[in-house]
Amino acid sequence: MVPVDTRTLLLGEDRKRTRRWSIGAGILFLASISYFAVVRTVGFPQIHLLLWWQGYAVLLTIFVAVQAYSNGGIGVSWLLVFAAVAGVILNYGGIGLSGAKPGLLWLVRYAVVGSAVAAAIVGTLGFTIGTAVRRIAG
């Protein structure tokens, strides 16, 4: 078994790729917050059904697996999912459907906790898939 240092495990093998993927997390946050704002405002039911929670989770898992395959870095995998889910939650995605919408402070709390939980689950799953495929492929 080859020992792996902590930095490589968290951030990946190549600093340039890590930087690109980190910038990608920011873009993913903006795309996520924008997409769900448009869907909520305008309403595109055909697209909305594909990219709501289940489809979104599958797409994020695939996206993170591609990142893990290309560079590794579980921290980057978590960051990608955290950013994407934070964008959804900050647009009240799934929040306030059956009651009053929470205030800004509660919304931010929900975003932090919900994004951290999603990052731990979906980010770890995507990372595991991507690194497994990379090791199998050789």
Per the structure, the complete domain to which residue 122 belongs is given by 11-137
63 CB-contact burial (10 Å; exposed 0-12 / middle 13-18 / buried 19+): buried
Inside any domain, residue 63: yes
The three-class DSSP label of residue 3 is: coil
Contact 17, 71 (CB under 8 A): yes
Inside any domain, residue 4: no
Inside any domain, residue 82: yes
Inside any domain, residue 34: yes
Predicted local confidence at residue 5, as pLDDT: 79
Cβ partners under 8 Å of residue 107, min gap 6: 89, 90, 92, 95, 101
Inside any domain, residue 2: no
Inside any domain, residue 6: no
Among 27, 58, 29, residue whose Cα is nearest residue 126: 58
Inside any domain, residue 30: yes
Q: Based on the structure, what is the number of domains in the chain?
A: 1
Inside any domain, residue 1: no
Give, for all 138 residues of the chain, the pLDDT tens digit: 556 678 787 788 888 998 999 999 999 999 888 877 777 677 655 555 556 667 788 989 999 999 999 988 899 999 999 999 999 888 876 666 667 888 889 989 999 999 999 999 999 999 999 999 999 997
